[in-house]
Amino acid sequence: MSNSQERTIESLYRLKSRAIEWHALQAASQTGVFRELAKGQKTAAQLADLLSLDGAATQRLMVVLCRTEMVDQYGDDFALTTLGRLVPEPLLDFGSDHLQHIVSHLKSGASIDGEAGWNMELASREWTLTPAALTALQALGVGGVSRKGLFVLEVHAGSAVFASALTHRDPTSRIFLVDQAEGLERARKTVPSIEVEERTEFITIEAGQQWWEAGLPGADLMLMVNEIHRLSAEQRAQWFSHARPLLHQEGELMIVDVFRGQENGIERAADFELELGLRTGKSICDAKELETELKTAGFRQVQFAWLTCEPFLYGLLLATR
């Protein structure tokens, strides 16, 4: 048998394994296996008894789940991994509720659930932005001579990973976090965890209210993280036109979002864009187009850089007032 034939067989079985692992994850979610493991590690027999499952079949399922990133085995016991504990219960179906609509999406191009579902999805991923935040702040020299003692404003802050990391890096800075109450609830958990409460203010906006209608203070640095890809060109123009007057002289707008082209993240960006289109009917942004839009809004200088760290999806645009 030739090497080419062997590679083909290997590819076939690797693809088959991925399919089996995917369906095993679905079965674990639907039967309550993950829910029980969230309470503490258990044997396959204990899981079968608690969930009214067949013992031998449950043992086989657990062995396959250990090949995924969700479950580890310790002797006869099975337990959730760190990742398994971080995935919120509403998202333990790993997208099956919406991915099953890909065929109808291909036929019609229509999105399936709009902003609500996508907001939940992005909220579940906010913690994965921590390496990107640390990479960005190091590259910008936050806390150094040129970017120190900043007034920082993060709009639609959610968990406020970037603003909180910035304030932790520069003890002389202050942050103002703007979002609806639900989003700020996540920020209120992040901020105490890195001990920056004394330098943080929360500004709540109502449903339907725009962030620039909240009487915001001026800022040296404004952050828009994972927001721009949600907006139409008209909405982006509106956001940029309202952002610029809020910045102090020589103030900067920092946009962090998913862009195509980062070498290590090509496949992930493709996955992100397929899911984004399926859920909302939108596409990820082009950095060059955003640069043009920012300059049209009056920003003088726009710089772009990749955030070359996990998850290898994000780029950073820095625009000077």
Which range, of 193-197, 267-271, 278-282, averages the lowest pLDDT? Answer: 193-197
pLDDT higher than 90, residue 81: yes
Between 296 and 97, residue with greater pLDDT: 296
Q: What is the pLDDT of residues 105-122, one digit of tens each?
A: 999 998 987 777 888 888
| 308 Cβ contact list (under 8 Å, min separation 6) | 135, 262, 264
DSSP state of 216: P
pTM greater than the 0.75 cutoff: yes
Same fold, 3-94 and 123-320: no
* Chain segment 192-203, per-residue pLDDT in tens: 888 888 889 999
Q: Which of 15-29, 75-89, 104-118, 263-277 has the lowest mean pLDDT?
A: 104-118
Domain range annotation of the chain:
3-94, 123-320
Pick 96 or 174 by higher pLDDT.
Answer: 174
Residues 287 and 317 sit within 8 Å (Cβ to Cβ): yes
List, for residues 251-262, the tens digit of each pLDDT value. Answer: 999 999 999 999
Provide the mean pLDDT of the chain. Answer: 92
% pLDDT > 70, the chain: 99
Looking at the domain that runs over 123-320, which CATH code has it been given?
Answer: 3.40.50.150
The CATH number that domain 3-94 falls under is 1.10.10.10
Distance CA(251)–CA(256), nearest Å, equals 17
